[in-house]
Structure 1
């Protein structure tokens, strides 16, 4: 017995007992801490440590979810245990932002009839609103986007983007909103094709885009909310010019993005622009003050946006190439107000083969005009020959009615011109993903619609990011050499002291 007691009195036993005690204490602290953190709401628990911030939710989505006045249900038709953790984490984080969103998981293996009930496939989120009766679906393949093009080079398919927020926000906006806007994109003038990234953003805003050939159609359809012309290389015919002018005179909305073709080659389009207070300058614009790495034709314009046009514009960084400049002139009518929202610095030049003129040039502007649609119908009562007080009262009633109709029929026409189609060129937007080109463009589109905001959110890249030191400074030298050296020296000092003891 004494021998056993002596064993517990040794230095080794005491140290071992101390280590066991500390271990038990640490384990207890960890268990208690997990229990405490488990009670914290999930939106505060889930901290985004991913390099591309795939779980970070923008203010656009937060504002939409905060303003919900309808209950929205996410029905996830998938086996929860085998679902990608990124999708599960994002779903829970997204739903936690609003008490009006509920998430229900249905295992299609255990309940195969659910697929027929919702008329969809496995690994799909059904977003529905009972109050509006609208529903839509979001596939897992639309959230984690695969790059199939890499298969032809590597034989493997890799993940390229995470689009959880963009898809879910678009779906929620669709089921709770009754806004459906139709955009007609002109063809027949050598227009460029809209990049895929832009058509995706149009879809997320629930905008329907349809082609329109003005040579084949003598009028712009009544359901046209916006007429879009993207980088035409050929001019309008006289008849097409008349059709567009009449459309604007009735409160229509037109948006024009100029391409490489100059206004001298597009006289009819230039004539419409001049009517609305915009005249194109000769040549291409070079800006010696706001350019990309010394290339004067790669311009970072100055933005002067406000209201809906300024939504999610934080860095003020937009890149344009092959830009034509515009000068503001007196519009054809006093009722037209032209406002620039994008321009060069005062160190810009309009450069031609023979000349270069310094000045500040407008690169984007919107012209608005309030137009009234007069009721041309005539009442047969107007020819009545009755006289007296009753006739006078009738005349006053007709006058009041006429004023009311005039107010009700007043619309605002809007003509927006961006002098560089490169604003949405995929070679720029895909290369410089941190720029706000697409955001500015979508804001300009949405500003044509009353009560509609740009809620399209771009996907986040899943490409691998490497930590590289491009320019070794003092901080870099400290991290690479200083800290490791300090650790080695301190370790040696501790070892040497213990050895002497």
Structure 2
């Protein structure tokens, strides 16, 4: 026993005991720290260091989830261990933003009946709300989008976009919402076709886009929540003009995006606009003060948006080409109020082959008119029969007719929106659409690119010389100076 005690009194044993004790303490600290950090919410544990910020969640989604007061279940029909880590991480971060979202994983291999129960395929997220009884599905392939066109050039399909937030936010909004909006897009006047990216944003916002040929049927359906004319190259007929005016007079909503056709060739459309206080100016708009790289016809308009129109607008950067100018004039009735939300600078010009007219021009405006829904379209005799109705009833029957005009269809041209993804063209357009509906805001969120981003240095010649020759020479000089001083000492 004495020998054993003497062993522990040696210097080596004491140092060893100290090391073992210190190791045990460090291990204990690590275990306790892991237990503590394990309780931290998922949204704080995962930091997005990716170049495209695919895990970042916009304020639009955060606001939707913050105000979510109905239980929503995400049922993921996939093997969790084999699922893409990006999808698992995003689901965890997204669901952590609301206590009313529950995520369940079901392995379809172990539970094959689940696919029949939910009537869908594997690698799918079923989003459902019991309170509304509505459900929808989001496929993994809708979240991680493949560029199939690259297959024809390289033999492999590459990942192009990550659309986790856009798909899930749209799904949540759909299952908790009790109403959907019908948008009728006019045809028969040489209108342009909505790009795939804009159509997808419409779908994400749960807007159903239908086609309406006013040439064949001049009546506008009662379920039409918004009549959209996108870059018409031919004018309305007199009957079509009357139908549009009657629709507005009954509280309808109309949105016109002008194309490259001159207003002189569209007199009936120009007449509708003038009735609501907007008069088109001949020629294309050039703005030397707010143009893209010296091209005066590629202009960045000044935005004056507020309320729903300002949702998601942060950079105030929108690019237009081949824009027509408008001047605000007195509307046909005092009940109409016209307000601009997009203008040029004061140094802009309306350019025609004959002249250049300087001034500040309106590029986007909204005209509203409050109308009594009961008296719209009725005669004075019909109206006089309702004189005894209460003021409250009249207030309930009031509707608001709304005409939105954007003088450049290039606002949503794919050549601009797909090339300059950092601009807010599509956000402004979707806000303008959503502003026509009470209680509806733009929740359509664009996908994030998964393309490889390269760090580039402008004027790299001087920088390269500095790195290759300057820094090594500086180190050599410093080393020689230190050596020389020591040698002299």
What TM-score, normalized by structure 1, do the two folds share?
0.87
Residues 1:458 and 2:446 are matched in the alignment: yes
Return closer, same or farther for 1:401/1:281 CA change in 2, 3 Å cut-off: same
1:149-199 deviations in Å (ceiling 9; x for gaps): 111111110000000000000000011111210000000000000001111
CA deviation after TM superposition for structure 1 residue 410, in Å: 1.2
Distance 2:448 2:372 in 1: 45
Return closer, same or farther for 1:123/1:295 CA change in 2, 3 Å cut-off: same
Return closer, same or farther for 1:241/1:432 CA change in 2, 3 Å cut-off: same
**Counterparts in 2 of 1:178-257, with a 5 A limit?**
178-257=178-257
Return closer, same or farther for 1:252/1:478 CA change in 2, 3 Å cut-off: farther
CA deviation after TM superposition for structure 1 residue 38, in Å: 1.8
Note the residue ranges of structure 1 that are not aligned, 5 or more in a row: 383-394, 497-501
Aligned to 1:95: 95
Q: CA RMSD in A?
A: 3.4
Give the conservation status (yes or no) of the 8 Å contact 1:48–1:55: yes
**Counterparts in 2 of 1:330-369, with a 5 A limit?**
330-369=330-369
CA deviation after TM superposition for structure 1 residue 456, in Å: 0.4
| Structure 2 SS opposite 1:109 | coil
**Counterparts in 2 of 1:243-282, with a 5 A limit?**
243-282=243-282
Return closer, same or farther for 1:330/1:42 CA change in 2, 3 Å cut-off: same
Q: State how many pairs are aligned.
A: 474
Distance 1:122 1:258 in 2: 45
1:69-105 deviations in Å (ceiling 9; x for gaps): 1100000000001100000000000000000000000
Distance 1:476 1:454 in 2: 47
Note the residue ranges of structure 2 that are not aligned, 5 or more in a row: 1-6, 485-489
Aligned to 1:446: 434
Residues 1:76 and 2:76 are matched in the alignment: yes
1:259-284 deviations in Å (ceiling 9; x for gaps): 00010000000000111111111110
Distance 2:27 2:471 in 1: 31
| Structure 1 SS opposite 2:452 | coil
Aligned to 2:35: 35
What TM-score, normalized by structure 2, do the two folds share?
0.89
CA deviation after TM superposition for structure 1 residue 39, in Å: 2.1
Distance 2:483 2:37 in 1: 39
CA deviation after TM superposition for structure 1 residue 475, in Å: 9.0
Aligned to 1:388: none
CA deviation after TM superposition for structure 1 residue 302, in Å: 0.2
Give the conservation status (yes or no) of the 8 Å contact 1:469–1:476: no
Give the conservation status (yes or no) of the 8 Å contact 1:145–1:163: yes
Distance 1:21 1:228 in 2: 76
CA deviation after TM superposition for structure 1 residue 374, in Å: 3.4
| Structure 2 SS opposite 1:401 | coil
Give the conservation status (yes or no) of the 8 Å contact 1:320–1:420: yes
| Structure 1 SS opposite 2:282 | strand
Return closer, same or farther for 1:475/1:464 CA change in 2, 3 Å cut-off: same
Residues 1:470 and 2:463 are matched in the alignment: no
1:96-123 deviations in Å (ceiling 9; x for gaps): 0000000000000000000000000000
CA deviation after TM superposition for structure 1 residue 217, in Å: 1.0
Aligned to 1:150: 150
